[in-house]
Amino acid sequence: MSFQKHAAATFNTMSQMLELTGGDLFRVAAHAKASRIIKDLTIDIEALAKAGDPKALVAIDGIGKGTAGKLIELAQTGTIAEYEELAAKVPAGVMEVLGVQGLGPKTVKLMWDEKGVESIDDLKKIIEDGSILELPRMGAKTVENIKDSIAFLESSGGRLQIGIAQQVANRFVSLLEDTSGTIRVAFAGSLRRGKESIGDVDILIATNDPDAAREAFTASEGVMQVLAKGDTKCSIRSAIGDSMSRWGKDENAAVQIDLRIVDQQCWGAALLYFTGSKEHGVRLRERAIKMGMTLNEYGLFVDDGSDPSPPQSRGLDPMACETEAAIYLALNLPYIDPPMREDRGEMELRDHVHVIELSDIKAELHSHTVASDGKMTIEESAAIAKARGFHTLAVTDHSQSSAVAGGLKPDRLREHIKAIREANERIEGITVLAGSEVDILVDGSLDYDDDLLHELSVVVASPHAGLRAKPKQATKRLLKAIAHPSVHIIGHPTGRLIERREGLSPDMNEIIAAAIEHNVALEINSHWMRLDLRDTHVRAAVEAGALISINCDDHHPSDYDNIRFGVLTGQRGWLTAEQCINTWDADRLHGWLKSKR
Ligand code: DGT
Ligand code: CA
Ligand code: CA
Ligand code: ZN
């Protein structure tokens, strides 16, 4: 695990352990916040912390003296004394119990204090003998849910990549759209925000026939378990389906789906609430209170807060509730697109940020054909790109060191360049450019000699092997590739695979600065297994002014559809169309590519 990830996890665990031991709530929140900030950093935090200068750390937005000291301690000694003290007080099994979905620190603390629950096995025992029911607010229904959650945790656990969750969600959304009485259906939650991994899928429905919706949802094909079937909320566990098993996911893997039945009149308020993020929602509600209003899933109400009962139950009419836009407007905020709702500074915006959209993409600059490990011919790929309205496709098969991916030896690449240029003469309505996805070798040099690289119209340089290198080495390696005069784009810069491989952790700020200096674009690889650059990196690159390239890295015709996830990741990093070279018109893009020849 990288230092950064480890540090973020450590602070999060400390926050939970503080709460479990009855610690000061202010400190509980402070540690949780530090964890979030550390997780989002784009610098080599390990090097900074190892160097041991607290001033350099405190200079980072959101990091205070206390956090800085602990980061240094962690980097230099491998642990934090306060963490060790807390860990000595909280048995590891109690932390495992906290991992059961639906159990928060308050409940876990009660179970631990009152019933001596110090492990999942202990929890199972008090469920078995029924003594769990002696705890406050614990009914048969809740216990059933806890039981299911334990089974879920033991069988799979973890989060699902967005591409898989999206497929399952689409299936349920169409099913509900076709159910009688349905007025509208939409997915919300992290899926709508375009997060790289999804805890559970959230779907909203407004309907004239709630019973039909409940039945359709809970009895649909693939439903493995019904967790709840209430008036306003149903929860199920659904199989992900064997269509995904080729991605190495167990076909028995399940995903939880929450369906919320909401009023059509307050659709916007419900959508806003259940889209989250939770942190963004908290900030919105704080803002409403400051303005003498109350915001909840039923609407925005003028309400001084003197009556603790919810305003809708007092017969108050909301001043805004039909659309999200109306609520943002009433809160005196610009409309904030769902991918930006992460409490990463969006509340300070005074104007709408017009982020990149799917329809802005006009070129694919990273694609594979049967010449290496792709499934399409040049013609097939060009036809798909053209049908999408693209003006340019770059064919970039693998280079020689990627032997398992059918990488091309120099002679074969020369033939391939010729074949692509000939195909371009034949194919009308789109420009097909001869390129290569060239391996960045472990020492940072490229996989072909300079003359051959200069021959290529598009060079995407990507790391494929040696992905366990230390941050310093990784930074050096990528910097060298960026400085190579023939390189246009750095492909999937860290090489991570979501939920599967961490990849490189270079100092992203140095990488971004070098990319700007050498006029190189950094890729958002749209495949949902990669999404690399990740959202936080994109944000840093956008702020610094670097160029971004969003590509599908197509191997298969259906890979073109992944562009949606790349664009969402761009939006999560506040990327505008202007800064993404795939949106430029043909003249501008071709001119930029040639400027490196
Ligand atoms: P996930 O499922 O872990 O990928 O992330 P989300 O964001 O989809 O979270 P989820 O499914 O727990 O809840 C969906 C949205 O509902 C969430 O983004 C905001 C809202 N929400 C859920 N629980 C709470 C809560 O306890 N407080 C607040 N303020 N909002 C909540
Ligand atoms: Ca969710
Ligand atoms: Ca949920
Ligand atoms: Zn590729």
DSSP for 210-265, written as a single string: HHHHHHHHHTSTTEEEEEEE-SSEEEEEEE--GGGGGGT--TT-EEEEEEEE--ST
Is the pLDDT confidence value at 540 over 80?
A: yes
Which residue's alpha carbon is at the smallest distance from atom 18 of ligand 1? 276
Ligand nearest the Cα atom of residue 435: 4
Ligand nearest the Cα atom of residue 169: 2
DSSP of 409-422, one letter per residue? PHHHHHHHHHHHHH
Query: In this predicted structure, what is the pLDDT of residue 274?
Result: 98
376-392 pLDDT, tens digit each = 999 999 999 999 999 99
489-490 and 521-525 as β-strands: parallel, antiparallel, unpaired? Answer: parallel
Contacts of 71 (CB under 8 A, 6+ apart): 7, 38, 45, 49, 57, 63
pLDDT band at 227 (very low <50, low <70, confident <90, very high): confident
Beta strands in 37-95 (DSSP E): none
Residue list, CB under 5 A from ion ligand 4:
437, 553
Is the pLDDT confidence value at 261 over 80?
A: yes
What DSSP state is assigned to residue 554? B
Query: In this predicted structure, what is the pLDDT of residue 402?
Result: 92
Rounded Cα distance, 398 and 409, in Å? 10
Query: In this predicted structure, what is the pLDDT of residue 250?
Result: 57
Among 449, 448, 424, smallest CA distance to 434 is for 424
Among 109-123, 147-161, 571-585, the range of highest mean pLDDT: 571-585
CA distances from 288 to 147, 299, 327 (A): 38, 11, 10
Query: What CATH class does 358-595 carry?
Result: alpha beta
Looking at per-residue pLDDT, the higher value among 501 and 350 belongs to 350
Is the pLDDT confidence value at 306 over 90?
A: no
Ligand nearest the Cα atom of residue 438: 4
Q: Does 286 contact ligand 1 (Cβ within 6 A)?
A: no
Query: In this predicted structure, what is the pLDDT of residue 244?
Result: 57
Distance 189 CA to ligand 2 centre (A): 5
Rounded Cα distance, 379 and 377, in Å? 5
Query: In this predicted structure, what is the pLDDT of residue 176?
Result: 98
The C-alpha angle with vertex 234 and arms to 228 and 239, in degrees rounded to 5, equals 85
Rounded Cα distance, 103 and 122, in Å? 15
50-66 pLDDT, tens digit each = 999 999 999 998 899 99
Ligand nearest the Cα atom of residue 227: 3
Query: In this predicted structure, what is the pLDDT of residue 22?
Result: 92
Is the pLDDT confidence value at 504 over 90?
A: yes
Is the pLDDT confidence value at 458 over 90?
A: yes
Which residue's alpha carbon is at the smallest distance from atom 1 of ligand 1? 199
Which of 191, 278, 282, 295 to probe ligand 1 with, by most ligand atoms within 8 A of CB? Answer: 278
Query: In this predicted structure, what is the pLDDT of residue 156?
Result: 53
Q: Does 281 contact ligand 1 (Cβ within 6 A)?
A: yes
Distance 431 CA to ligand 3 centre (A): 45
Query: In this predicted structure, what is the pLDDT of residue 149?
Result: 79
Segment 40-44 shows an average pLDDT of: 91
Q: Does 200 contact ligand 1 (Cβ within 6 A)?
A: yes
Query: In this predicted structure, what is the pLDDT of residue 153?
Result: 73
Which residue's alpha carbon is at the smallest distance from atom 9 of ligand 1? 189
* DSSP bridge pairs for 235: 228, 258
Distance 190 CA to ligand 3 centre (A): 9
Rounded Cα distance, 327 and 309, in Å? 21
- Tokens at residue 35, please? 């964890």
What DSSP state is assigned to residue 522? E
Tell me phi and psi for residue 325, to 5 degrees. -60, -40
pLDDT band at 225 (very low <50, low <70, confident <90, very high): confident
Q: Does 202 contact ligand 1 (Cβ within 6 A)?
A: yes
Query: In this predicted structure, what is the pLDDT of residue 567?
Result: 98
In CATH, the architecture of 3-131 is: Orthogonal Bundle (1.10)
Distance 440 CA to ligand 3 centre (A): 41
Q: Does 189 contact ligand 1 (Cβ within 6 A)?
A: yes
Which residue's alpha carbon is at the smallest distance from atom 29 of ligand 1? 278
Distance 370 CA to ligand 4 centre (A): 13
3-state SS assignment for residue 340: helix
Segment 400-405 shows an average pLDDT of: 90
pLDDT band at 346 (very low <50, low <70, confident <90, very high): very high
**Number of residues in the chain:** 597
Q: Does 338 contact ligand 1 (Cβ within 6 A)?
A: no
120-161 pLDDT, tens digit each = 989 999 999 999 999 988 988 889 888 877 876 776 556 889
Q: Does 190 contact ligand 1 (Cβ within 6 A)?
A: yes
Query: In this predicted structure, what is the pLDDT of residue 541?
Result: 98
Is the pLDDT confidence value at 252 over 80?
A: no
Beta strands in 123-200 (DSSP E): 160-161, 182-187, 197-198
pTM (two decimals) = 0.83
Beta strands in 321-444 (DSSP E): 363-364, 392-398, 431-439
Number of the ligand 1 atom closest to the C-alpha atom of 159: 4
Query: In this predicted structure, what is the pLDDT of residue 326?
Result: 98
273-298 pLDDT, tens digit each = 999 999 999 999 999 999 999 999 99
The C-alpha angle with vertex 191 and arms to 189 and 197, in degrees rounded to 5, equals 110
235-250 pLDDT, tens digit each = 998 988 755 555 555 5
Burial of 23 (0-12, 13-18, 19+ CB in 10 A): middle
Rounded Cα distance, 260 and 268, in Å? 13
Q: Does 283 contact ligand 1 (Cβ within 6 A)?
A: no
Fold of 269-348: Beta Polymerase; domain 3 (3.30.210)
Query: What is the domain partition of the chain in residue ranges?
Result: 3-131, 160-261, 269-348, 358-595
Is the domain 160-261 a CATH 3.30.460.10 member? yes
Is the pLDDT confidence value at 563 over 80?
A: yes
Is the pLDDT confidence value at 473 over 90?
A: yes
DSSP of 268-333, one letter per residue? HHHHHHHH--HHHHHHHHHHHHHTTEEEETTEEEE--S-S-S-GGGGTPPPSB-S-HHHHHHHTT-
Number of the ligand 1 atom closest to the C-alpha atom of 258: 11
Rounded Cα distance, 360 and 582, in Å? 8
Share of the chain above pLDDT 90, in %: 84
Q: Convert 455-496 into a string of H (helix), E (strand) and C (coil).
A: HCCEEEEECCCCCCCCHHHHHHHHHHHHHCCCCCEECCCCCC
Is the pLDDT confidence value at 251 over 80?
A: no
